[in-house]
Amino acid sequence: MDPTGQAISPALVDRLTREVSECLKVSINTGSFVVKVPADWGLSCDKSQQVLSASAPESGCAAKGLKNECACHWRAFVQCPNAIVTTPSLYLYKDALVRFVTGSQDPWSDPALAACVAPTTDPLSRGDGP
């Protein structure tokens, strides 16, 4: 259990990190970053995904085709210098990890990186399973 009382599976974090490492064909130093799952996450206004309390730029949500009636919130991001902040589902953890490892600001626009950031968890899971 993490310090916020959430049952986040280290095996799941390891699996997702391994998927990114294999996709990028690089060795990821897991000691170079930490994963944070804040306790104050919530659900998007349409209840389809977990979101962080931190607001994200509206332009990014619009570019992703997310509904304008929902406030735009991050689902995962890199907090300098070395923290990956994500929801319990870890749905976009791989996106933030690829950004951290490669320095890319938009991995979705690069076909090689886009394959590495594709989610492999459910957007509503609690992060408690491999």
Written as one string, the DSSP assignment of 75-130 is SEEEETTTEEEE-TT-TTHHHHHHHHHH--S-GGGSHHHHHHHS--S-TT--S---
Going by C-beta distance under 8 Å and a sequence separation of 6 or more, which residues neighbour residue 103? Answer: none
Q: At what angle do helices 10-24 and 93-102 cross, to 10 degrees?
A: 50
- Rounded to two decimals, the pTM is 0.89
The span from the CA of 17 to the CA of 97, in Å, is 8
- Confidence category of residue 83, pLDDT binned at 50, 70, 90: very high
- The string of pLDDT tens digits covering residues 108-122 is 999 999 999 999 999
